[in-house]
Amino acid sequence: MIAVAVANIKGGSGKTTLATHLAAWLAHNGVTVALADLDRQRSAFAWTERRPRDLPGVRGVDLSRDWAPVAGVDAVVYDIPAAMKRKDLEEVVNQVDALILPVLPSAFDEDGTRRFLDLVSEFKPIRKRRLPIFTVANRVRGRTVAARRLETFLTELEFPPSATLRDAAAYAAMAGTGRTLFDEADPRSKDLLRDWVPLLRTIKPLLLG
Ligand SMILES: Nc1ncnc2c1ncn2[C@@H]1O[C@H](COP(=O)(O)OP(=O)(O)O)[C@@H](O)[C@H]1O
Ligand SMILES: [Mg+2]
């Protein structure tokens, strides 16, 4: 079984958006996948309940009360809450094959990301550099100063973004219907999907072999 966690200290950075998309992408690739929601808000779990039955299935697992490793599937995507006990976070980190960190173009998100990386860098799989960390610049608007600043910030941290996702209203709409860009066939969605290609190319050997 393979597992990936989407995490960051900051709320609203796109963790659930990335987690739902990665789970749907794995499902479209024929993988039996669970989306495990560790957040009290249970937004990822609610998304699995809204997901239309005729789309490739994503099993929702509600871990918002008690954290436990998920079994019985080929892949798990853990949606990690902004505030998680250090001990629990360490346990999740010990379970996964990759960490994915969405970061918004804002100074607050930079601070949060720095703090998060400081925290997890003490965990053994990361200290020993066994666990890959991929950052994703999220909600980026064109060639703005903020966009360039975020790219520089992540590159200086030695985690240059594996993808840069545009700010697009489609993401909020899909959150409400249990869908993702991977489920859509219209030209706009196809265009937005191009943002995901570098990340998927990077994680594919790790997650799909
Ligand atoms: N690239 C994006 N463009 C536009 N809206 C986005 C994007 N990524 C996330 N969002 C929206 O931002 C809000 C917060 O995202 P969410 O994934 O719930 O963050 P988190 O799980 O980190 O709190 C949601 O309403 C979501 O639809
Ligand atoms: Mg969330």
Structural tokens at position 178: 């249990």
Full-model pTM: 0.97
Q: Would residue 38 count as lying in a domain?
A: yes
Helices H / strands E in the chain, number of each? 9, 7
Q: If you measure from the C-alpha of residue 62 to the centroid of ligand 2, how many angstroms do you get, rounded to a whole number?
A: 13
Q: Is 17 in the pocket of ligand 1 (CB under 6 A)?
A: yes
Q: Is 175 in the pocket of ligand 1 (CB under 6 A)?
A: yes
Structural tokens at position 6: 């989407």
Domain count, the chain: 1
For residue 79, the ligand 1 atom closest to its alpha carbon is 21
Q: Is 14 in the pocket of ligand 1 (CB under 6 A)?
A: yes
Q: Would residue 209 count as lying in a domain?
A: no
CATH number of the domain within which 32 lies = 3.40.50.300
Cβ-contact 149, 109 below 8 angstroms: no
Alpha carbons 56 and 75: distance in angstroms, whole number: 14
Quote the domain boundaries for residue 182.
2-202
Task: From first to last of the 209 residues of the chain, give the pLDDT tens digit.
Answer: 999 999 998 899 999 999 999 999 999 999 999 999 999 999 999 999 999 999 999 999 999 998 888 999 999 999 999 988 899 999 999 999 999 999 999 999 999 999 999 999 999 999 999 999 999 999 999 889 999 999 999 999 999 999 999 999 999 999 999 999 999 999 999 999 999 999 999 999 999 98
Alpha carbons 193 and 14: distance in angstroms, whole number: 16
Q: What is the largest CA-CA distance in the chain?
A: 46
Q: If you measure from the C-alpha of residue 11 to the centroid of ligand 1, how many angstroms do you get, rounded to a whole number?
A: 9
Q: Would residue 66 count as lying in a domain?
A: yes
Q: Would residue 208 count as lying in a domain?
A: no
